[in-house]
Structure 1
């Protein structure tokens, strides 16, 4: 969601605010702004659209300040206009905000009744107005801030400047993350470690409910009850190269090509290649009677792939739920169930809420995350990190395959722990896993072939994706990717459901992408392919060499991925569907890395 940076500096902050906001573009945004203490008081510079528009404003009207705040806004209340762009201002207060103030309408009505006027359509402005009112009553800034926080409901991160307190920034975290960065004679507040990464690698993560008063040389942190607390300072390694596109046109393209390395690092963390064994710690897999997976979007689909791998191999029931629905349906949970929450950022609001719901029910919890300092990583009983590096493109690619890598290794580990396979079979399957990065690289080499398909698919209004077994969740993922970045309507279906409705959509104008490696499902998938072609459907058949030899004649295009063991087929077959979505989006001229209306990290419900 929205990106935040605050600097209590010893040197000019304008360029540094922009540098940080560029690092936060991956979160998604539709307007941006900065503010700082100047010799003429607090000054703001704002613009709708991309950061280049804000940079043009700053070129004409520089912000000469050594203390300042910056923001990229993803609109929730009010359109993405300059007037609604952050920072917002009321009286002595200027602030930036990530999240949603749930009781803003009630607070706004109360403040208007007291004679206060509002300049924006946002929920954020009520916080500025409320804090200014508390300051006007004579309270010290930190006391006024606490009084304000006690009156607002919702999920939010805030960074605030107060006129007359030029060496001070106030911050608060309730839900969305906020980190404190410790510099040399300077201090920072940011949405995540990447935000403060250009300036320091020493950070402290605020806990949920914390608020902080920041000066140039210290951070005073308080918990939700107002008690002073210490939060550990951690050293976070940051490689600037991870934030650059290199020779690639887009971060998404780079991240697709990063997948062999990311999966290799991730798999290596969960297998002992010398012993030929899996190495999962923190959970007694032999004693687990059920697994409950929760996730959103692509993370949910990674969990669904995991279900198709874990259940047959380990004979262990796996339930997979969309996290945004999970706790609202009041699921029937039983002891000896392991909850696995999957989230790239570790901050996804719905997934975090589902994790907490399961913890409250007494279940053991594990998280598959990319951000080891995230809220989920801190709150779960067990952390199973992925090691793909920062993912900047909004549409997840390398995080998805790294998540699937963890779940694939988990399937092998659970099967061994539960006596479903012996040591020799475990060793064989570990060998299969170790082959995955090389085969993913070969699959990525299909990019040129996929580019030709993309030209035709880019003309379509609708696209259907079909798959069976583990290819079914991959079909769902392919459709999601195409929707996300090319804005073409796409749907994924279990191929066996074709005759139960979707076949009515088949015509000569609708591409049908069928995912069918040569496995135990192949004959039935080939039959579905024939049904589609008999009705004029334009089939894009993604298979392997053996599948190509046995495929019915008549496919419009056949994409031949490398042959592999069924265990790792979801990993190897992921690249073609990612590349197809990417190439279609490029040909349509879409904003690949920052698709409209989407955010990288959804930290509010």
Structure 2
């Protein structure tokens, strides 16, 4: 979601700030802005349109300087409006008019939970608030605490904040200085070299700095970083003294895959990423030569031998990946598994078991709810942790003892596609590794599963060839306002994912149910105006599923069925069938989700929605 870019340089950094925001557009936003230290004053440009308009505004107003910060905002506190857009300025009471150029400029990702308390205190000091954001509170607080040293003021300010934040801030009286701080939201430091030697950068995502620097420092929880020309230093609060002291963080060479953000011949990034799935799956499997616990990190064998159950924590699409994996883990690895929505888990009483493998799933590795749930699980004494993640340098990977890195590449579209299918691949490999460790996987079974995994890219490519048939269906779906999705067994989570995709990008209300639940309530919704999408693999539940389909037909419902070729389900009036190329056993969910992605995508195109940037949503959800 929200994006931060900041810089200190001897050159004009506005083009770098704007380009950084463009690289972060895929995360989702509803306003944007840039502020600089120019001619001894703070200047800014803000917009509720796209970054391209902000670029034009900044050029028209002559905004150019060597010190500045920029931001894309996804609204939490306050509606999307220019006065709520970042950067926010602060003005000392009795010194500057509230609408004046200001003394402190600040951008912020995250949510400040005690903003009401701080707002009341700051109003008592004479500060005037021009926005409804929690961010403006931080700007005023820094201004209140400022006594000639911005680093000291920020250190004092963050000590009073409750919640999650990543901030970048500069002061009118200190040119060529930017302070950054993070707690619960990601922030990285970029070290300039070559033509940017002596310059330093801040960003919420290393991708924002692609093409500028590949020398990245991942700031840790509680870090405060001071950027000046030619030097920087990082401080963190000491556990014993509680005072800030200098710390050293590793400088890493990071290639941010900026080329992945190029659309190429595709109409939308989502379409591109759907069709990249065969390559993404092949890349994810590239280093897998056999099944071994060490696929998940050093010491995995010892951990796998020590556990007696699995707890999966995730949100949204990743939660559905975990729900699918539960079927695999219990049927193949024979290990009890529970799947929890991360945003709920930390707020309920649960029964901890130190012999639990806690598995988090996240595309970005920065999902705030999942990170918080992970920390909660650890606080309960569950220290065996693992993540399935698409970003090797993310907070999730750093927080977990074990990890499996999917190789989906950068996913730009808000609605996840290739990240989901590669997560399923990683979770299936985890299932096999646990089955092997627990003595439930023979060499013959391992060979069969590996063969099926190796064939997956070809199988997915065959499913993508069904696109013309799916397009024909989408034209009918585009005229609907509601839809039901049905699945059974391990395909029920796939039905859930199909419904989520349709509602995310086409804005059609869609729900998913286990097909056997129809007669327990949802059947009341079925009419000729309610399309019912059914996932129909040729598995042990097929005959039960056919009975459920007859329940729909008997009520005048119209069925749209993705069926394996040998299911003997034929098209007829009121029953539309698209035949899948082949039945794929335990890995069938990975194939069956692909036409559901295509259906959502082409329905959204037919309805004319903003496919890659659906309303109200963001790519990487870094607030609770």
Partner of 1:353: 372
Q: Is residue 387 from structure 1 mapped to residue 407 from structure 2 by the alignment? A: yes
**TM-aligned CA deviation for residue 458 of structure 1:** 1.1
Is 1:460 aligned to 2:480, yes or no?
Answer: yes
Once the two structures are superposed, the pairs formed by residues 30-429 of structure 1 within 5 Å of their partners are: 30-39=30-39, 41-91=41-91, 92-135=103-146, 138-184=147-193, 185-224=198-237, 225-269=243-287, 271-272=288-289, 279-281=295-297, 282-284=299-301, 285-363=304-382, 364-429=384-449
For normalisation by structure 1, the TM-score amounts to 0.96
Alpha-carbon displacement from aligned partner over 1:134-153 (angstroms, at most 9, x marks no partner)? 11xx2411111111111221
Which among 454, 457, 466 is matched to residue 434 of structure 1?
454
* Closer, same or farther: CA 577–417 of 1 in aligned 2, 3 Å: same
Preserved contact between residue 259 and residue 440 of structure 1 (Cα < 8 Å): yes
Q: Distance in 1 between matches of 2:272 and 2:474?
A: 18
Determine the C-alpha separation between the residues in 2 that align with 1:520 and 1:436: 22
Alignment match of 1:546 (pick from 549, 558, 566): 566
SS at match of 2:68: strand
Deviation at 1:90, TM superposition (A): 0.8
CA distance in 1, matches of 2:292, 2:373: 35
2:539 paired with 1:519: yes
Shift of 1:555: 4.8
Change (3 A) 1:259 1:278: farther
Q: How far apart, CA to CA, are the structure 2 residues paired with 1:455 and 1:52? A: 32
Per mean C-alpha deviation after superposition, the further-off stretch among 326-335 and 183-192 is 326-335
| 8 Å contact kept, 1:267–1:434 | yes
Which residue matches 2:240? none
What is the CA–CA distance in structure 2 between the aligned matches of 1:241 and 1:435, rounded to whole Å? 27
Check whether the contact 2:145–2:157 (CA below 8 A) recurs between aligned residues: yes
Distance of 1:588 and 1:13 partners within structure 2: 40
Q: CA deviation at 1:198?
A: 2.7
Q: Contact between 2:225 and 2:235, CA under 8 Å: does it hold in 1?
A: yes
Tell me by how many angstroms 1:40 deviates: 5.5
Unaligned runs of 5+ in 1: none
**Pair 1:276–1:602, CA change in 2 (3 A):** closer
* RMSD, aligned CA: 1.6
Q: Which moved more, 1:113-122 or 1:577-586?
A: 113-122
Alignment correspondent of 1:569? 588
Distance, in Å, in 1 between the alignment partners of 2:183 and 2:414 is 24
Task: Report the Cα distance in structure 2 between the residues aligned to 1:452 and 1:11, rounded to whole angstroms.
Answer: 54
Structure 2 CA distance for aligned equivalents of residues 104 and 417 of structure 1: 50
Any runs of at least 4 consecutive aligned residues in structure 1 with deviations exceeding 3 A, and if so which?
275-282, 550-556
Aligned counterparts of 1:294 and 1:480: Cα–Cα separation in 2: 18
Q: CA deviation at 1:154?
A: 1.2
SS of the aligned residue for 1:525 comes to helix
Tell me by how many angstroms 1:50 deviates.
Answer: 2.0
Show CA shifts across 1:86-117 (max 9, x none).
11001310011111111111111111112111
* Mapped contact 2:389–2:404 kept (Cα < 8 A): yes
Aligned partners of 2:257 and 2:410 also within 8 Å: no
2:618 is aligned with 1:599: yes
In the TM superposition, what whole-angstrom CA distance separates every residue of 1:253-279 from its partner, at most 9, and x where no partner exists? 11111111111111234x315x89994
**Residues 207, 276 of structure 1: CA spacing in aligned structure 2 closer, same or farther, 3 A cutoff?**
closer
Number of residue pairs matched by the alignment: 600
Please tell me whether the aligned partners of residues 310 and 357 of structure 2 are also in contact (alpha carbons under 8 angstroms). Answer: yes
Structure 1 contact 7–69 (Cα < 8 Å) conserved:
yes
Q: 1:342 to 1:556 in 2, by over 3 A?
A: same
**1:513-565: CA deviation from partner (whole Å, max 9, x where unpaired):** 00011111111112211211121111110112112x34575454212222132
Distance 1:81 1:277, change over 3 A: closer
C-alpha separation between the residues in 1 aligned to 2:126 and 2:571?
74
Q: What is the TM-score when the length of structure 2 is the normalising length?
A: 0.94
Deviates more, 1:241-250 or 1:357-366: 357-366
> How far apart, CA to CA, are the structure 2 residues paired with 1:429 and 1:276?
13
What displacement does 1:399 show? 0.6
Structure 1 match to 2:576: 557
Contact 2:43 2:63 in 1 (8 A): yes
SS in 1 for 2:332: helix
Aligned to 1:580: 599
Is residue 296–residue 402 contact of structure 2 (8 Å, CA) maintained in 1?
A: no
Deviation at 1:325, TM superposition (A): 0.6
Question: Given that residues 167 and 215 in structure 1 are in contact (C-alpha distance below 8 angstroms), is that contact kept between their aligned partners in structure 2?
Answer: yes
Q: Distance in 2 between matches of 1:556 and 1:188?
A: 58
Aligned partners of 1:277 and 1:426 also within 8 Å? no
Contact 1:295 1:322 in 2 (8 A): yes
- 2:97 is aligned to none
Q: Tell me how far apart the structure 1 counterparts of residues 135 and 527 of structure 2 sit (CA, whole Å).
A: 48
Secondary structure (helix, strand or coil) at the match of 2:404 reads strand
